Amino acid sequence: MIDPFGRRVSYLRLSVTDRCDLRCTYCMAEDTEFLPKADVLGLEELARLSAVFIGLGVRKLRLTGGEPLVRRDIMRLIGALGAHVASGQLEELTLTTNGTQLSHHAQGLAQAGIRRINVSLDSLDPALFHQITRRGELAPVLAGIRAAKAAGLAVKINTVVMGGVNDQEIDRLIAWCGEEGHDLSLIEAMPLGAFSTGPAFQPLPLSVLRGRLAQRWSFAATDYSSGGPARYVNILQTGRRLGFITPLSHGFCESCNRVRVSCTGRLFLCLGHETGTDLRQPLRASASDEPLREAIRQAIGHKPEGHDFVARRANRQPLARTMNHTGG
């Protein structure tokens, strides 16, 4: 799958549910209404759709949500997708999770062929963690991360940085990741969802934060890439990597190899554009995969060159679509 700008699409982020047990302020409104079950793809449909994408050249598949581990029987899907890793068709199967259910699933994830996962963690302070997630308990998440490590999974921590909320926490997170042996990626909060223009939404350019961090930590350049949008440095004091995901202050679109499919089967060619292609209709209309393949090929031919988050933020026009629908 090659898009009009010559970029090879080999990375699929698949949202398996819009539901979540947390309500992070930058991701969901407190009173979010979840989709009717009939609108959401079934586990078999998700497995079939994934197989079609793999047949078209996807080599890396990340499950996301909502919270993927709150979806009932999710381990069935993960097992089915793991078979593509075992057969060598898929180079990597991975997952982004909030970690609340990780203690129960870490072993199963490792057995299914998952080697590394991303866990979102915005603070090591229980009260602040509870405030940002509007309901979360920190202890089970930390226990889940320990369980993942014990199961042999490499854990990367993802932290959304909000000025005046958790930007003072980053030194502590860097030190903790060093002690625990995790890489860390810092993410600029993106304007997604109507609520993201409110006071809780205070994106801080990571270039500013990086300057601040550099006063305490020594960074060494590295050209390491995990195949995603993060740009990394090595931290000399901890020996771990620190990634910067900077959609607002520094675009990463020129090397974009990703597409996303929402839990309703909508294919989004770019996180920053509303337009998408419905794959649920061809998926449900025919037992043959050909109409689905054709819909995907056509859509890839319209992948936009890049997002326009900067203009959207300046004009206070966030995307109506929220992260829990699209999948982060």
One of 17, 50, 98, 238 touching ligand SF4 (CB under 6 A):
98
Q: Using the rule CB under 6 A, give the single segment among 60-68, 224-232, 257-265, 270-278 that binds ligand SAM.
A: 60-68
Under the criterion CB under 6 A, does residue 11 sit at the interface with ligand SAM? no
Phi and psi of 13, rounded to 5°? -105, 120
Phi and psi of 291, rounded to 5°? -60, -35
Q: Considering beta carbons, is residue 277 or 324 the nearer one to ligand SF4?
A: 324
Q: Considering beta carbons, is residue 35 or 56 the nearer one to ligand SAM?
A: 35
Q: Considering beta carbons, is residue 56 or 154 the nearer one to ligand SAM?
A: 154
User: Tokens 């009939």 sit at which residue?
Assistant: 38
Residue 104 CA to residue 305 CA, distance in Å, equals 40
Q: Using the rule CB under 6 A, give the single segment among 22-30, 54-62, 78-86, 199-207 that binds ligand SF4.
A: 22-30
Per-residue tokens: 207: 């270039």
Burial of residue 170 (number of CB atoms within 10 Å: 0-12, 13-18, 19+): buried
Per-residue tokens: 314: 């300046």
- The answer to whether 71 touches 14, Cβ cutoff 8 Å, is no
One of 102, 132, 187, 213 touching ligand SAM (CB under 6 A):
187
**Site residues for ligand SF4, window 41-70 (CB under 6 A)?**
65-67
Per-residue tokens: 113: 């062929």
Q: Using the rule CB under 6 A, give the single segment among 71-79, 105-113, 190-198, 299-307 that binds ligand SAM.
A: 190-198
H or E element, residue 235: strand 231-235
One of 136, 228, 251, 328 touching ligand SAM (CB under 6 A):
328
One of 10, 25, 158, 166 touching ligand SAM (CB under 6 A):
158
Describe the strand order of the beta sheet including 258-261 as a list of residue ranges.
Answer: 219-221, 231-235, 241-245, 183-188, 154-161, 116-120, 92-97, 60-64, 11-15, 258-261, 266-268, 276-278
Distance between terminal CA atoms of the chain?
21
User: Tokens 């929402």 sit at which residue?
Assistant: 262
**From the list ligand SAM, ligand SF4, none, partner contacted by residue 28 (C-beta under 5 to 8 A by kind):** ligand SF4
Q: Using the rule CB under 6 A, give the single segment among 164-172, 189-197, 229-237, 293-301 that binds ligand SAM.
A: 189-197
Per-residue tokens: 125: 């302070």
- Minimum CB separation from ligand SF4 for residue 92, in Å? 21
- Minimum CB separation from ligand SAM for residue 192, in Å? 4
Among residues 39, 48, 44, which one has the least CA distance to residue 17?
39
- Minimum CB separation from ligand SF4 for residue 176, in Å? 19
| Contact residues for ligand SAM, defined by CB under 6 A | 20, 26-27, 64-65, 67, 96-98, 120, 158, 160, 187, 189-190, 192, 196, 323-324, 328
Chain positions contacting ligand SF4, by CB under 6 A: 20, 22-24, 27-28, 65-67, 98, 120, 323-324
